[in-house]
Structure 1
Amino acid sequence: MANRGYDVVVDVDQEGDLGHTDLQEDNLEFHSSNFSNPSARNKIQPDTSSFLPGPASNRSSQKHYLWTLSFYAQAFDVDTSEVLRRCQAALFPRVNFLDVLEGNPDLYGPVWIATTVVVILFLTGTISQYLAHNGKEHFAYDFKLLSGGAGLVYGYTAIVPVGLWAVLKWWAVESASLLEVACLYGYANLIWIPVALISWSNIGILNFIFVTLGFAASAFFLLRNLYPILSATDHKTSKILLIVVVALHAGFSIAIKVLFFASGSPLAKDKTGDGVVGGGEGDGKEGERLVRMLFGL
């Protein structure tokens, strides 16, 4: 039994084929396994020669420094449809605006909104002055309205968010970044576009009502979205910050009303103080009128 062998029969056709198999024309390739090295599994080397940014999930984890272009580029990473969606959410607030941003705040919308508000304030303020002029003398455009509007709108939209963010950093509140706070204030200015379009008349009470409605709508938008952020501080501090936010926004609204939609705007007054663009009568009583105007006589 120990010397007993076994015979193997192999069917070979005329062309040398070793017979039909289930693999047919498929080829089998054997590679060495790397299962013994766990660090080598599922490891893909990136293409370092590409200048394109990585996926959004990778970009969100990267650090952006203030002196790099990537810090400013991330604030403009939106398209027109997204900006319009955010404008709609600002005009008709149904959910928290920070949820609408989805972790991607932008400055593209706030910059264009502020610029549009400045231009419309200049145009409607000029129309309001023209109606108040009553054709007494030759009317001339006063570009102080444009420079004053730019300083007011851009200054408020930039300085107040930075100050508020600095206070939150002082209290170690990390619930909102600087870009998110600036984006929130930028989209809050959207309500002033329709307000400016309808406040060009010379009827003071109507202008007052329109500006009041604009203040109420924009203040509600700010308070609704800032309250969850400010409430991260202690109760007393959050109340003080909310009062400061409302007071600053009320001052901004009053400045718009007085400087652009009031007869004889201070921005349009000439050196004689008569409130008429193009000069006064030159009757030698300019000083007396100026004193009366300053002291309310």
Structure 2
Amino acid sequence: MASKNDPFQFQEFDEAGDLLEANRDATTISIDDEDVKPQKQSTATGFSSEADTEDPLANDDQAELLSGQKKSPSFWSFEYYQRFFDIETHHVKERIIGSMMPWPRKNFINVYLRRNPDLYGPFWICTTLVFATAISGNISSFLAHKGKRDYKYTPEFRKVTIAATIIFSYAWLVPLAVWGFLLWRNNKMVNLVSYAFMEIVCVYGYSLSIYIPAVVLWILPFNWLSWCTIVVALCLSGSVLVLTFWPAVRDDHPRVMIAFLSVIVLLNILLAVGCKTYFFTIPGNKTVTPTNSTT
């Protein structure tokens, strides 16, 4: 047993009790109370230590999110175009199928885009069409001259450059002109349907998807089959464009409406017929008539 005079045993101090009896309004602090924390003391400059560790940029982002005024990225920045490539695969498939199977009173932008255009599908469709046109044109030329003794096959890589220039110019410059025209008509008229530039680019990009299988069929040495596929591709691609832009000019003047839709169809025809004529027309062999030389 521990002795009563153990010096290490906790003892009550009577002076503390006397002091409390003398001043009952005094504040006491218990050592066992873990919730009591000392107050933060301000530094000499008047700023707290917690304020020094906080990130001011994080506070700005939180304030923008709470106020709903998050700044959108600039048109010239990479972040602006990054969202146009964030799309699911099944959405791309639906838009490709929708561009190949147009239906009356079915607007491609309202049904498939839903104010969420993408550049992923149009970019790869145009790129695939470029290589399909150039490669199919080389194969068609090879098959047409196959079996001739004086023919030596040389791949024409310049066709890739020419096809890329034609197709990407059509997929970007024509939508730019259409967007500028619709913007001009919206300033002239009231209650006209307006489309964003990226939506128009998306429509034109997906409308070219029907030409990929058509170009592959142009390899076959049947001229009637090539022109039949051109007519089918023109009807499907042109229908998508006309049904999409019809609501935008429906309430405009009849002459303006007819001229606008006619130009859209005409440019589509020029693209298809021009590619068929340039890349798949085999030049005829020139017959040289020998001349008798007199000695």
Whether the TM-score (by the shorter chain) exceeds 0.5 is yes
Alignment-derived partner of residue 184 in structure 2: 170
Deviation at 1:281, TM superposition (A): 10
Could you tell me how far apart the structure 2 residues matched to 1:145 and 1:104 are? 34
SS at the partner of 1:104? coil
Dislocated runs of 4+, deviation >3 Å = 46-51, 61-65, 280-285
Deviation at 1:65, TM superposition (A): 3.4
Alignment-derived partner of residue 124 in structure 1: 136
Q: 1:195 aligns with which of 210, 214, 228?
A: 214
Q: 1:110 aligns with which of 122, 127, 130?
A: 122
Could you tell me how far apart the structure 2 residues matched to 1:178 and 1:203 are? 39
CA 235–257 in structure 1, closer or farther in 2 if over 3 Å, else same: same
Alignment-derived partner of residue 3 in structure 2: none
CA-to-partner distance for each residue in 1:210-242, whole Å, 9 max, x for gaps? 112111111111111111123243322111101
User: In structure 1, what residue type is equivalent to 2:152?
Assistant: H
Could you tell me how far apart the structure 2 residues matched to 1:62 and 1:93 are? 38
CA-to-partner distance for each residue in 1:241-290, whole Å, 9 max, x for gaps? 011111111111111210222223xxxxxxxxxx68xxx999999xxxxx
Could you tell me how far apart the structure 2 residues matched to 1:284 and 1:120 are? 41
Could you tell me how far apart the structure 2 residues matched to 1:119 and 1:155 are? 15
CA-to-partner distance for each residue in 1:71-98, whole Å, 9 max, x for gaps? 2223223122221221122122343211
Alignment-derived partner of residue 42 in structure 1: none
Alignment-derived partner of residue 98 in structure 1: 109
Q: 2:91 aligns with which of 70, 78, 82?
A: 82
Could you tell me how far apart the structure 2 residues matched to 1:197 and 1:191 are? 11
CA-to-partner distance for each residue in 1:12-58, whole Å, 9 max, x for gaps? xxxxxxxxxxxxxxxxxxxxxxxxxxxxxxxxxx964779x979xx6
Do the aligned partners of 2:73 and 2:79 also contact (CA within 8 Å) in 1?
A: yes
CA 176–281 in structure 1, closer or farther in 2 if over 3 Å, else same: same
* RCO comparison, higher one (Cα < 8 Å, 6+): 2
CA 204–170 in structure 1, closer or farther in 2 if over 3 Å, else same: same
Q: 1:68 aligns with which of 53, 64, 77?
A: 77
**How many equivalent residue pairs?**
223
Deviation at 1:156, TM superposition (A): 0.7
CA-to-partner distance for each residue in 1:132-170, whole Å, 9 max, x for gaps? 113331111111221111111111111100011111111
Alignment-derived partner of residue 52 in structure 2: none
* Unmatched segments (≥5 aa) in structure 2: 1-56, 187-191
Percent same amino acid at aligned positions?
27
Do the aligned partners of 1:207 and 1:261 also contact (CA within 8 Å) in 2?
A: no
* Unmatched segments (≥5 aa) in structure 1: 1-45, 265-274, 286-297
Alignment-derived partner of residue 154 in structure 1: 168
Alignment-derived partner of residue 142 in structure 1: 156
Alignment-derived partner of residue 215 in structure 1: 234
Do the aligned partners of 2:175 and 2:200 also contact (CA within 8 Å) in 1?
A: yes
Do the aligned partners of 1:113 and 1:189 also contact (CA within 8 Å) in 2?
A: yes
TM-score, normalization by structure 1: 0.67
User: In structure 2, what residue type is equivalent to 1:263?
Assistant: I
Alignment-derived partner of residue 21 in structure 1: none
Do the aligned partners of 2:100 and 2:209 also contact (CA within 8 Å) in 1?
A: yes
Alignment-derived partner of residue 226 in structure 1: 245
TM-score, normalization by structure 2: 0.67
